[in-house]
Amino acid sequence: MLFSSITFLYYFLPLTGLVYFLAPRRMKNAVLLLCSLFFYAWGEPKYVLLMAVSIISGYIFGLLIEKYRSQRAGQVLCGISVAVSLSFLLYFKYAGFFVNNFRAVTGWDIPVLQIALPIGISFYTFQIISYTVDVYRGDAAQKNLVSLAAYIAMFPQLIAGPIVKYSDIAEQLDKRQHSIAMAAEGIRFFIIGLAKKILLANQLGELCNVFRASEEKSVLFYWLYALAFVLHIYFDFSGYSDMAVGLGQVFGFRFVRNFRYPYISTSITEFWRRWHISLGSWFRDYVYIPMGGNRVGRGRHLFNILVVWILTGFWHGAAWNFMVWGLLFAVLLMAEKLWLLDVMKKNRVFSHIYVLFFVVLSFVIFNANDMGQAFSDIGGLFGAGGIEMVSAEALYCLRSFAIVLLIGCIGATPLVSKVFGWAMRQPLCSKVLNVAEPIALAILLLVMTAYLVDGSFNPFLYFRF
């Protein structure tokens, strides 16, 4: 069930909210869990059992790790718990990739595995791992299975994040406050995220599809596609994350923000502090720092970066283009650590151009079906194969999508937020905006509902991961 669907907006969410707020405090986690399981079963009924097994496994291991964590057995149990969680992820997400590549290398006639990918498995697996590792590090294990299951299966962040670490909301699971002000702020976040998704990401995604279907490609068309996809993936994913954060607030939870205007970054290092923040934090806390982080020699430090970014690429998908995507960022980050940051500090204009150039190239690789298409797309950006610079179809698409592209470019910066913040600090403006904002949000919701009723293009990219 998509957040950006009539079923979710006008049936599931109102009924869930009604039942949740009518339930007594001690039953709220149970209501949230049952509604979350129904939400998941709507699209993946056969994989509810897999998620339940994963949750129960994490719950049992958590109790055992807490009991024995002062002994060698605690470390062993923590390792087994992580291995069990990863085994589910490796089988369902990566078994086909490994088998197909083994066939290609050896020539052996091994049956090709056709395994459906359970939605959200990358996200909830990482949350279970964070829970058991945090318990091993000293956090109290959750004794209430329902509360732990509610944390793992919570529908706002179940299928596309953000990756919420158990330590961040452990207290909120047992004691959280609900207020009209917090719910109103959450609804505002949700509607703005929904607008990012429907009014921007979906329109930009249509341009990407037009490009793929075109037989009249040109250098201009390749760059239009690259720009459109860079904006599309940002508004698609950040919009969904904003919706998740907003829904969390409605139900009394404070989730971390997942995006902070990454395209204004002046280094790749800064970019990854602003993009998919919860994933970067997870790899930092559970892979990079345990490997030694930057508290080791230079060679080992660079090796740690390489490992983390190959894993980050692989987390996104079982394909070589994701591995190359992660490797590209690893190389750039290592170059920045060694010498490039010092150069970039002297020229901010160069730094912005450098970041945007490599981010665009990286996401062209990211969105390719395979490495062959990735090379072809990158070549097209630079006129490889003798393609023409401009085509009639490219100019038509530029005219048709110019306003959406312009709004997307502005919306990917903090300009609108800063102007709104400045206006709210002006006494007269703030009074007008306090009245106008709820009306504007209501109108925005009606407009987006019309788009959904019309059956407009409405996929969600991160369901692939």
* Cα-based torsion angle of the residue sequence 329, 331, 334, 338 in order, rounded to the nearest 10 degrees: -130
The pLDDT value recorded for residue 228 is: 96
Phi, psi of 295 (to 5 degrees): -95, 25
Tell me the C-alpha distance between 246 and 156, whole Å.
Answer: 9
Tell me the C-alpha distance between 393 and 215, whole Å.
Answer: 9
Q: What is the pLDDT of residues 261-292, one digit of tens each?
A: 999 999 999 999 999 999 999 999 999 999 99
The pLDDT value recorded for residue 227 is: 96
Statement: residue 24 has pLDDT above 70: yes
Return mean pLDDT, the chain.
Answer: 89
The pLDDT value recorded for residue 462 is: 54
Alpha carbon separation from 463 to 123, 130, 204 (Å, rounded): 11, 21, 18
The pLDDT value recorded for residue 457 is: 56
Statement: residue 112 has pLDDT above 80: no
The pLDDT value recorded for residue 362 is: 95
In 14-29, which positions are buried (b, 16+ CB within 10 angstroms) versus exposed (e)? eebeeebeeeeeeebb
Statement: residue 347 has pLDDT above 90: no
Q: Which residues contact 7 (CB under 8 A, 6 or more apart)?
A: 1, 42
Write the burial class of residue 146 (CB in 10 Å: 0-12 exposed, 13-18 middle, 19+ buried).
middle
The pLDDT value recorded for residue 432 is: 87
Statement: residue 9 has pLDDT above 70: yes
Statement: residue 404 has pLDDT above 90: yes
Tell me the C-alpha distance between 20 and 22, whole Å.
Answer: 6
- Catalytic residue chosen out of the listed positions 232, 276, 301, 316: 316
Q: What is the pLDDT of residues 196-251, one digit of tens each?
A: 999 999 999 999 999 999 888 899 999 999 999 999 999 999 999 999 999 999 99
The pLDDT value recorded for residue 231 is: 96
The pLDDT value recorded for residue 135 is: 93
Statement: residue 458 has pLDDT above 70: no
In 255-290, which positions are buried (b, 16+ CB within 10 angstroms) versus exposed (e)? bbebbebbbbbbbbbbbbebbbbbbbbbbebbebee
Residue in the structure block whose two tokens are 């970019």? 271
Assess contact for 279 and 312: CB atoms under 8 A: yes
The pLDDT value recorded for residue 463 is: 53
Q: What is the pLDDT of residues 40-51, one digit of tens each?
A: 888 778 889 999
**pLDDT band at 70; cut points 50, 70, 90:** confident
352: annotated active-site residue:
no
The pLDDT value recorded for residue 86 is: 93
Statement: residue 149 has pLDDT above 70: yes
Q: What is the pLDDT of residues 290-330, one digit of tens each?
A: 999 888 888 899 999 999 999 999 898 888 999 999 999 99
